[in-house]
């Protein structure tokens, strides 16, 4: 949807004020007849995010964020659907500010992405500490069979100051520019000079 022109904004604003005054139940359907280049849903979306004179654009405070979290956890309907219209109205009733719908949505979905990212990072960090027995590999130490050496994550490789003369460094093969028409990234390959166990100490 394109943004409304200044003239279209004035028409929508004046029309909505009048239709609300007389108690019209479907003002956006009527306004879509006045502005046929937009449908009722588009005008409704524009109104509740940009043009409604009651909208408050100040940042959400911590109490409002907590209220949004609690409201969604208690009022989701089938298949996890969130009724944003009802949430916005309850938020206004509680704190006196009518928030743009996109502001409320952006807060909620951004928080969910951060939670997912933190969970995935925790899973990767946990995986870097896992070891297993690899007697069949032939790697052995003074005491006999050694544990498998776990490669560190990419962030560790990029930030750790490796000494190229160190006997326990990771060697990265060169990047091949062409491979069936695409770029191929290197894989990590541990390179051992001595028949003894080396472990990476990874701090996440």
3-state secondary structure of 148: coil
Is 37 exposed, middle or buried (CB count within 10 Å of its CB: 0-12, 13-18, 19+)? Answer: exposed
What does the pLDDT look like over 30-57, one tens digit per residue?
Answer: 999 999 999 999 999 999 999 999 999 9
> Nearest Cα to 9, choosing from 68, 49, 56?
49
Q: Which fold has domain 1-53?
A: Arc Repressor Mutant, subunit A (1.10.10)
- 80-105 pLDDT, tens per residue? 899 999 999 999 999 999 999 999 99
- Which of 8-22, 56-70, 176-190 comes out lowest in average pLDDT? 176-190
Would you kindly state where each structural domain of the chain is located, as residue ranges? 1-53, 55-123, 135-190
Please say if the pLDDT value at position 70 is more than 60: yes
């Amino acid at each position: 949807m394109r943004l409304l022109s200044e003239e279209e904004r004035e028409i929508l604003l004046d029309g909505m004020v009048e239709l609300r005054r007389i108690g019209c139940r479907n003002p956006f359907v009527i306004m879509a007849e006045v502005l046929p280049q937009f449908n009722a849903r588009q005008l409704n979306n524009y109104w509740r995010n940009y043009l409604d004179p009651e909208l408050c654009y100040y940042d959400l405070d911590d109490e409002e964020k907590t209220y949004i979290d609690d409201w969604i956890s208690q009022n989701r309907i089938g298949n996890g659907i969130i009724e944003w219209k009802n949430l916005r109205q309850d938020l206004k009733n509680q704190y006196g500010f009518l928030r743009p719908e996109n502001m409320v949505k952006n807060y909620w979905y951004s928080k969910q992405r951060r939670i997912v990212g933190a969970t995935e990072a925790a899973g990767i960090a946990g995986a870097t500490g896992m070891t297993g027995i690899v007697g069949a590999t032939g790697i052995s130490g003074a005491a006999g069979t050694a544990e498998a050496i776990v490669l560190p994550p990419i962030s560790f490789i990029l930030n750790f100051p490796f000494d190229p003369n160190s006997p326990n460094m990771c060697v990265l093969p060169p990047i091949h520019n062409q491979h069936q028409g695409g770029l191929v990234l290197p894989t990590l390959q541990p390179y051992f000079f001595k028949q003894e166990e080396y472990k990476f100490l990874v701090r996440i």
